[in-house]
Amino acid sequence: MAKRPTQSDVAKLAGVSRATVSYVLNDRMDGRIPITEPTRQKVLEAAKTLGYEPNALARNLKSGASYTIGLLMPAVHNPHYWDILEGAEEEITEQGYHLALVTANLNPERERRCLQSLFQQRLDGLILMPTFIDMFPDEMGVLAERTSPAVFITPIEGADWVFPDIRGGAEAMMDHLLGLGHTRIGFINGAARPHLSQTREDVYREKVLAAGFALDESLMRQCSHLMENGYQEARALLSLPHPPTAIWTINDLLAIGALRAIHERGLSVPGDIALAGFDDIAFSRQVYPPLTTVHMPAYEMGKRAAEFLFKRLEDPSLEPMQEIMPMQLMIRQSTAGE
């Protein structure tokens, strides 16, 4: 079966941006993007040539739809969130919609205000990456009463959501480090809230015990979520009477901070100490040595969340759509050498 032409195909043939195609084909007249008549005709001709049919959802939405999707992002400091945003935005734009973005900066009161702001806007749907949702029963009540749907990028009972297989990724990482012969593995756990990294800590403990080693609490460091915290905690680990031979951090930003601490001690990676992260942000491939990590399907998660949202808009009677997305161990020089 031939692939149905998309707005991206129309944009390529017409020589214009995808946003321009969206505005023309949805007959938007709000002036945000000035469209000349020759440009409009080029888009219409390209659509006709390709046999492009507007998405059935766009044709059937009730009059007065905003053609705007709200998205709550936890913070802007971690590129992991950028990739989720990119995937969601790609699908939202492809469907002829626009994005209303709010960022909570990993602050509970700011997240509450972000949710309230989204609820006050006329939006056709929401994609939410909450950090403190359990602290907001009133806002969750308002959300449940809204007629427009929401998709979460975290498991929420009875809701539509997508989430990565954190446990599978963590198990693969610990198996890798233990398989290299490391018996003293430092663990730097820095998250905005403890439950966000609990699965990784659980796997660390389980794998160390299963390998026949005693848990050494001095090797387990708790901190905040910033790169500087990874630097400080790695310094503490390296100052132990019996320092670790490997360090695993719960995200790549912490690992990059740890890498600085290791270099400052005049140690080599992985010759003197192995280092690994989690998420596989773009920076993890650019540091030296390139960082062993676990690939988070962040772009795919954002795109899938948007796909779920449009399916829900098209058919509100669907059963809850929920998906665990696989993660992949990425072995690079920071643990494996050349």
Residue type, 234: A
In this structure, the answer to whether residues 178 and 291 fall within a common structural domain is yes
Q: What is the domain-level CATH number for residue 150? A: 3.40.50.2300
Q: Do residues 127 and 151 touch, judged by C-beta distance below 8 A?
A: yes
pTM score, whole prediction: 0.80
Distance between CA atoms of 127 and 179, rounded to whole angstroms? 39
In this structure, the answer to whether residues 194 and 257 fall within a common structural domain is yes
Can you tell me which residue has the tokens 């998405």?
Answer: 55
Structural domain boundaries enclosing 218 = 166-296+330-336
Written as tens digits, the pLDDT of the chain (338 aa) is 456 788 888 889 999 888 788 778 765 444 455 778 888 889 889 888 888 866 544 544 444 577 899 999 998 888 999 999 999 999 999 888 999 999 999 999 999 999 999 988 889 999 999 999 888 888 888 887 887 899 999 999 999 999 999 999 999 999 999 999 999 999 999 988 888 899 999 999 999 999 999 999 999 999 998 899 999 999 999 999 999 999 999 999 999 999 999 999 999 999 999 999 999 999 999 999 999 999 999 999 999 999 999 999 999 999 999 999 999 999 999 998 65
In this structure, the answer to whether residues 33 and 81 fall within a common structural domain is no
Residue 249 resides in a domain:
yes
Residue 63 resides in a domain:
no
In this structure, the answer to whether residues 16 and 31 fall within a common structural domain is yes
In this structure, the answer to whether residues 194 and 110 fall within a common structural domain is no
Structural domains counted in the chain = 3
Tokens in use for 136? 């907001």
Strand order in the sheet with 220-223: 220-223, 185-190, 246-249, 274-276
Q: Report how far apart, in Å, the C-alpha atoms of 254 and of each of 150, 190, 227, 271 are.
A: 31, 8, 5, 20
Reference 12, options 3, 24, 4, 21; nearest CA is 21
Q: Do residues 61 and 313 touch, judged by C-beta distance below 8 A?
A: yes
Residue 2 resides in a domain:
no
